[in-house]
Amino acid sequence: MKSERLRNLLFMICRYFANTQKKFMPGIKHGETAIEILGTIAEMQRRATDIRKEGKTIAFVPTMGYLHEGHLSLVKRGKEAADILVASIFVNPEQFGPDEDLSRYPRDPENDIRLAETAGVDILFMPEAPDLYPEGYETYVVQTDLPEHLCGLSRPVFFRGVMTIVAKLFNIVKPHLAIFGEKDYQQLAVIRKMTRDLNFDTEIIGGPTLRESDGLAMSSRNKYLSEDDRKSARVLYRCLSEAGRRVAEGETIAGRIIAESETAIRAEPDTEIDYIKICHPGTLNDVAVIDQPVVMALAVKVGGTRLIDNLVLFPPGTGEK
Amino acid sequence: MKSERLRNLLFMICRYFANTQKKFMPGIKHGETAIEILGTIAEMQRRATDIRKEGKTIAFVPTMGYLHEGHLSLVKRGKEAADILVASIFVNPEQFGPDEDLSRYPRDPENDIRLAETAGVDILFMPEAPDLYPEGYETYVVQTDLPEHLCGLSRPVFFRGVMTIVAKLFNIVKPHLAIFGEKDYQQLAVIRKMTRDLNFDTEIIGGPTLRESDGLAMSSRNKYLSEDDRKSARVLYRCLSEAGRRVAEGETIAGRIIAESETAIRAEPDTEIDYIKICHPGTLNDVAVIDQPVVMALAVKVGGTRLIDNLVLFPPGTGEK
């Protein structure tokens, strides 16, 4: 609790600095607008309305902060496609289960602001939880099918929380397009479906997964990994790329690939498999015989940290783009 | 099925007429824009975006058609408050239970278009069910508390359906304000809460209930009532106004008022009480002792037709506005 207060204090000082001292900040050319930090829903809605009235387009990258190269690549993608890039930082309590890592989820707002500014974020929206979920909050966005697969099974409130916060943020930021990482494959599928089903006038764009040099998918949660965990964690991408190779060479039996991956993961210390699935890229239904591109998705706890990753597997002749 | 096709054909002819022959229509002054009828989601979204870009405001009255004076009073209210009045007509299948009156819900698109035009509706949005709920549709807006009262108990999918279609329509029509009738008291409460919770940038306005000369609340479903039903149906408002009088005179025991209403309703032929409740206007929780303004709400089947009505009851000194 004490460290949280200290963090908040540092953050407020930092926000003050960023908002008032823009002209003295290094790297910002004279006349160029520095990053604009907004903290309230009303401010953000007003800005979004004004930007749209000016005929400009808004690209949106929602994040939970603790930014890394993966997030920044989404920012880059958004900047190419729209006039104004809005990013948000909000660790959404509604998508964490009671036994999950909400309280220890890594946060570093000062560094996030610096990274966002350098990456060219125009507006950084940093709302507070009590504003987004006031006393008596009770409205949620749900889906009946897609969440009944993969991560939805071990994280029952996760997608309800994700859809709810994304719907809220869409209503606040009013983006023409929004960019989400393909690393969270099911999340991207759920959000695409929600956007279409609820007729949000927003285009959803997936950004490719960025990886460390050893193949580990970039994730804020990688911070939790000890040095030994970090070594074990490499097995996720090793399994996926091995599966990609096997399918490209003609393997069609999903069960065989899954069994091989299980063996490889169990051979690494401190690993616990949540799921390894090969499924239809749209419906996420299990695929037994691979005769078209499929997505292989896995979730593995490494030293207590739950990591996810995925790869599309292309059978011969289905042509990886 | 045959009559539905005929109805659709008539409707298409009518739409064609309305869209192409505007200049010949009576009552439309030269140079004045006649009603604009839009049938697709994309058209409506584009128009809404353009209207907003011009700096104009949009008021929205969603309806299920079969328009009556009650609807038109909402249109009037909206026209006073915004530049462009959009009304929609869509009988939303998602808010009807399997044993409810979806297939026989009254429809009269030609007359609706005429009434809407006369009332000054600028844009009439008349979407088709397969466009709003395509194959594989699976996303819904739900609430955890408010629907667990009153109509939500006897109509379990109703508010999920209402919230979902209203969220969709808000994303399509992009209104600055939306007007809903106070006759559907719980619906208005649920939509207000949804709008606030999901941060829709739309102001919700309630329009007072319009009544026939004998007090019966106007409703498209009144069409179902036989002459005898129509006489029995008067008891709803008689109970409410009697309750209003009793509370204004100092009665504080909700149970006493409810019991008197029960007796009065049971005395009418062909009536079946769904509920009679006296509750907190915000939370809809039951109130036992009336020491502040409360809402009395009731749902009664008359000759098989489910009617609802409500009235706010003001204890002495709490001052009806």
Between chains, do A171 and B146 touch, taking CB under 8 Å as contact?
no
B201 to A24, A41, A169, B194: CA distances (angstroms): 36, 10, 11, 11
Contact B53, A55 (CB under 8 A): yes
State the pTM of this model: 0.90
Instruction: Tell me: pLDDT of A39 over 80.
Output: yes
d(CA A285, CA B101): 35
Give the pLDDT of residue A11: 58
In 10 A of CB B104, how many CB atoms? 8
A10 to A13, A119, A129, B111: CA distances (angstroms): 5, 22, 18, 64
Which member of A142, A172, A199 has the closest CB to residue B171?
A: A199
Give the pLDDT of residue A90: 98
Between chains, do A199 and B168 touch, taking CB under 8 Å as contact?
yes
Q: What average pLDDT is seen over chain A?
A: 92
Instruction: Tell me: pLDDT of A29 over 90.
Output: no
Give the pLDDT of residue B50: 96
Between chains, do B138 and A197 touch, taking CB under 8 Å as contact?
yes
In 10 A of CB A267, how many CB atoms? 10
Residues of B annotated as catalytic are 71
Q: Tens digit of pLDDT for each residue in A46-65?
A: 999 999 999 999 999 999 99
| Mean pLDDT across A32-36 | 78
Between strands B177-181 and B58-63, the pairing is: parallel
Domain extent listing, chain B: 2-207, 220-311
Instruction: Tell me: pLDDT of A23 over 50.
Output: no
Q: Tens digit of pLDDT for each residue in B4-63?
A: 555 555 555 555 555 544 444 444 444 455 899 999 999 999 999 999 999 999 999 999
Three-state secondary structure call for residue B186: helix
A:B CB pairs within 8 Å: 89
- In CATH terms, the superfamily for domain A2-207 is HUPs (3.40.50.620)
Stretch (H or E) spanning A150: helix A150-154
Nearest to B141 by CA among A167, A187, A180: A167
| Mean pLDDT across A31-44 | 87
| Mean pLDDT across A27-56 | 85
Which member of B45, B139, B142 has the closest CB to residue A198?
A: B139
Q: How far is CA A34 from the centre of its chain?
A: 25
Instruction: Tell me: pLDDT of A305 over 60.
Output: yes
Contact B86, B173 (CB under 8 A): yes
d(CA A238, CA A104): 28
Q: Would you give the end-to-end CA distance of chain B in angstroms?
A: 49
| CATH number for the segment(s) A220-311 | 3.30.1300.10
Checking phi first, is residue B148 left (phi over 0); if not, alpha (psi -120 to 50) or beta?
Answer: alpha
Q: Annotated catalytic residue: which of A30, A71, A176, A280? A: A71
Give the pLDDT of residue B68: 97
Task: Spell out, as residue ranges, where chain B has pLDDT lower than 70.
Answer: 1-33, 320-321
Give the pLDDT of residue A25: 43
Place of tokens 């609790």: A1
Query: Which residues in chain B are contacts of A143 at CB distance < 8 A?
Result: 138-140
Give the pLDDT of residue A27: 40
Q: CA of B319, closest CA in chain A: separation in Å? A: 27
Between chains, do B199 and A172 touch, taking CB under 8 Å as contact?
yes
